[in-house]
Amino acid sequence: MTQSTDTQGAVTTVYKVSGMSCGHCEGAVSGEISRIAGVESVKAVAPAGEVTVVSAAPLEEDAVRAAVDEAGFEYAGVA
């Protein structure tokens, strides 16, 4: 799992998400993931198929998978 901790104690994780093709897709995925408790920021990049999440603590992979599924895309794991 690719995670790093910055000086404030936050954890940054990059997830692979397939099926995103535009800004609307990025917004849908970001919106669902941002609802997970502890998430501080989300940045989705459709061309790369990656979503970078900054959270107070490591997130449960099942929660991220469920959020991506709810947005209508396919969770492909941690980058």
CATH number, domain with residue 38: 3.30.70.100
Q: Which two tokens stand for residue 70?
A: 């709810």
Backbone CA torsion sign across 21, 2, 67, 70: positive
Q: What is the domain extent for residue 38?
A: 3-78
pLDDT in tens, 3-12: 555 546 899 9
Please give the span between the terminal C-alpha atoms of the chain, in angstroms, as a whole number. Answer: 7
- Total number of domains constituting the chain: 1
29-78 pLDDT, tens digit each: 999 999 999 999 999 999 999 999 999 999 999 999 999 999 999 999 99
| The amino acid at 64 | V
Q: Are 4 and 14 in contact (CB under 8 A)?
A: no
